Amino acid sequence: MERISMKQTKTPSIRVPQRTCVACRAVKDKRELTRIVKTPEGTIIIDTRGRIAGRGAYLCPSLVCWQAGLESNKLDYVLKTKIAPEERKRLLAEGRSLIGGG
């Protein structure tokens, strides 16, 4: 008797990267969060595409998380830098425009 081998078909599991919001500590899909980057030159910018080289931190798209992350030293700690007050104001204004909070 001939033995017929049947290949098992597996559906490829696509793994979605998870990241943690530095303010509320919620773990979400990477695409749901906004990345803040300290570039190799030392500037702090918002990376909407998630591809800029540098040390990154993530924030939820809520004004509460942006304020908590920028008003405390949480972003300073994660990005391993000291963020100037003017820089914090600029980032909060850019974050508000991104999330539609004014």
28 within a domain of the structure (yes/no): yes
* Tokens 């017929």 sit on residue: 4
Could you tell me the CATH number of the domain that includes residue 64? 3.30.1230.10
- Count the neighbouring beta carbons within 10 Å of the beta carbon of residue 15: 6
**pLDDT of the residue at 5:** 56
Tell me if 30 sits within 8 A of 17, measured CB to CB. yes
66 within a domain of the structure (yes/no): yes
pLDDT in tens, 67-98: 999 999 999 999 999 999 999 999 999 999 99
Question: Mean pLDDT, to the nearest integer, of 17-27?
Answer: 97
Give 13's pLDDT tier (boundaries 50, 70, 90).
Answer: confident
Q: What is the mean pLDDT of the chain?
A: 90
- Residue 15 or residue 24, greater confidence: 24
For 91, counting Cβ atoms within 10 Å of its Cβ (0-12 exposed, 13-18 middle, 19+ buried), the class is buried
Q: Which two tokens stand for residue 19?
A: 């990241």
Q: What share of the chain is helix, strand, coil (3-state, %, to 5)?
A: 30, 20, 45
Q: Provide the domain count of the chain.
A: 1
